[in-house]
Structure formats: structure tokens, C-alpha cells
Structure 1
Amino acid sequence: MLFRALRPLVSGLSLAVLSSLTQASPHWAYQGHHGAAHWAELDPAYEQCGMGQQQSPVNIDHTTLADLPALNFHYGTVVPTIWNNGHTVQVNVPAGQTLEVGGQTYELLQFHFHLPSEEAVHGHRYPMVAHLVHKNAAGQLGVVAVLIEPGSANAALAPVFAHLPRAGEHITVDELTLDLGALLPKTLGYYSLAGSLTTPPCSEGVNWMVLKQPMQLPAAQVAAFRRLIGTNARPLQALNGRTVTESR
């Protein structure tokens, strides 16, 4: 990414775009010979996709109730850049939007979408999910997943779906503003687990927070994303002994 100096480069270090930072990165896809079943074969740097023991996404089924720390979002109104990187529609945001949880402060870098939801809850995958990608001062990623179900109009996301870019295209409109706080559901109970990037190189050490309450999006906008991007969800991965913790 070339927009606004260093910020896009930092935003690129995220779930949906790590493999596209350099032209030397091998092509990957969700289906076919370069699909998810073959990611580990495409490049030695992608070996975690096949060998990792804490891979994402997973089916959230059996959970352990706990007094998880509250998610304190400090989001405002921003002018974003919307990017179609060929794998998803990614919304890059300027600095200053943060999440505080468990004594850690994470800065929001970007959010993007998957269809259907990559996470499953009791075996059910929602029509879509938004992944809000944050990073703390130590460089650790914290990703908040907001599940999406068909329903009423979503004022917070309407500007994004009104400016869906073509593959490879970046769109910045000075008059286009997003109220990031309105992206979140009213209740912020969540599931927590250790996981990974859901795209190559599938790096582990990602702190996942999956909100229990979904948000709604008109069915027409879900369909518009499907026409533009298609299916872009990685298959479910084994828990391998991990515990999924659920807030009370």
C-alpha cells in the first residue's frame, strides 16, 4: 500500500494482507491448487499453515466461563481508505483508535470481511464476519471478530458498501467518514482464545476476541460482497487442546 506514507505499511501487517506485501510472495487463494489445503506447500514461510498447533479459525463449542477483562473501545469518527486486495475488502483507519483490555492497549489498524464467517459458534457459521485488527506496543496482534447476520440497515458500514473498490483499487473520499464505535454491538460479551492469522503465513500468537452478539447488515450488501470477492473463509482448524474462554 502506498497511501499516507508509513501507515498503510503497518496496516498491511494483518490477517488479510501479510502475503501481499512483496511481489515475491507466492500467490495463494481459497480454492483450487493454491487454496487453503495447499498453503503450507506454497512457500517455506507458510509452514505454520500446515504444522501450527494454534491455528485459526475454530468452532467455538465447549467453553469455560470466566471473569474476562472488559473490552474498552476508544473509537471515534475517521476518514478511512478502502482497499480491495483481491482477498477481501479492507478498511484502513488512521492512528488513534484504541482498545484497552486486560492492561494492554491495542491500536486499531484496519478491519476487513470474510464470507461466510470464519469462526463457527456451536457449528454455525454466520453469513459474514468483520475482523477488527489491532496491535499493541510489543507488536502483538489482538483481533476482535464481529459476527454479521442479515437484517436491518447498518449506518456504520453503509459508506463502505457504497464505495466497494475493484480488485487492487484504493478509495479515499475526504467526505466519507466512519463512526467506528457504531461498528460494535450493544453488548460486548466475548469468547477468548489464542490463535493465528487466518491467511498465509498463518503466524501464531494472535489474541482472538469473538463478540457473542452479532451485528446486522442488509442481505443486499452481503450479496454485493459475495459478487465482488466470493467465498473467502479458511476451513475450521483443530483446537489441539486449547481452551476457549467465555465471558460471564
Structure 2
Amino acid sequence: MTVTAVGAPARRPVSDRTILRAAPWALVAVALVAALAGTGTPAAAIARYGAYWLLAVLLPGTLLHRALRGSTGNLPEDLGYGAVTGLLVELVAWAVAAATGLAPLLWLWPVLAVAPFLAVPRLRRCWRIAAPRPLPVAWSWGVAAVCVGAIAWATGEWAHVPLPPVTANYYPDLLYHLGLVHELTRSMPFRVPQVAGSCCATTTCPTGTSPRPACSPGSIPPSCCSGCGWARSCW
């Protein structure tokens, strides 16, 4: 004898169609993780970045996009728009945090972004898709195939560029870009990391200008030390 609780909503079984729609995107995720692991990326680093991407970019971005524009009716498109929205809002949060000296607290921004969607009843609708409009399965598999192809191409590049710190012939700008990324976590507007905190006395000033006078220790003005461009270093 089977007893059914009165008023309890019946659970809808996951249909084969739903699994078929999710399969191409799961394949892309598996291919990306396999490519990263196969080219020497530590598992812990993959897990940390995956958690960051899901919790600090994708989740708040998707909720914000749904609140502002509404759902597209399917999860893949919502997540695509949400990723762009999340990155945009995160850049704003970073600029504010870096400019105010609160960069160490930047990891809290997803909490501030998601909290209203938990606390405000009207915003809780953004957690679900009210009117589903699934994407064509063939289209999903086609896009997934393109993504896997891009991952396969990138894997060949990653295999020839080992992660620092190791002895290797890096592309000249790679370490410079990494230096910029680190500097961006500390100040806004940021300084050129190779000369941050040191005085720049240029000898290549345009005609009619001269180098700025040397800076005395402990009193280095930003106009002299933010970079070695002649616009800042010459009179």
C-alpha cells in the first residue's frame, strides 16, 4: 500500500530530454578541466578558480542579469549573460576597493551582491526560470563542439608555456602582464610595477623640456614616480 502525503508536491523525474540538453555543456566543462590538468595545472588551483568563477562571477552575475533584464528562459544563455554581467560588476567592485584601500576585502563582494536575492522576497524569483524556453539540442551540441575545439587548440599552447616559477623561454610580455595583474590588486590608479616606488629621471625628454629634478628619499611625489613616461617625468 502506497501512502501519498496530501498537499506535498510531486517530484518530477529528470527526463532524458533534460539530460540530453545538459550533456553538451557538461562535456565542455569536463574537457576544460581535463585540458588544464593535462598541462600541469595543479588540481587545487583548478578547484579554487572554479569556485571563484561559480561563486564570485557566475552566480551574482546571473542573478543581477535576471533582475535587470529577466531570464532568457534557459540556463545556458542566462549563464552566458550572467558571466559578462558578473565580470563587469566585479571590475567596478575592484576599482572601488582598490581606490579606497579595501582590496583585501574584495572577496566579500559576492556576498553583498547575492544577499539581497536571499533577503528580499521580490528578488527571489531570480533564482529560477519562470517560463522555460529550452534551446534546440542540435544548437547546443554545435556550440559545445566549437568550445571543445577551442579548448583543444588552447591545450597545445598551454603545453608549451609551463606555469611559473620554472626556467623557460616565456613570451616577453607574459611576466610583464603578470606584474600588472599583481599591481592592480594593490592600488588604483595603478603604477607600472617595474618602477613603482622609485624615482624616474628620464633622459629622453622631448625638445624644449627637461627631466624633473631628482626626488629625495621619503618624499617621492607621484608625478615623478608613477611611471617613466616623459609626460610625467619631464617639465
TM-score normalised according to structure 2 size: 0.22
Higher RCO (CA < 8 A, seq sep 6+): 1
Structure showing greater radius of gyration is: 2
TM-score normalised according to structure 1 size: 0.21
More helix by share: 2
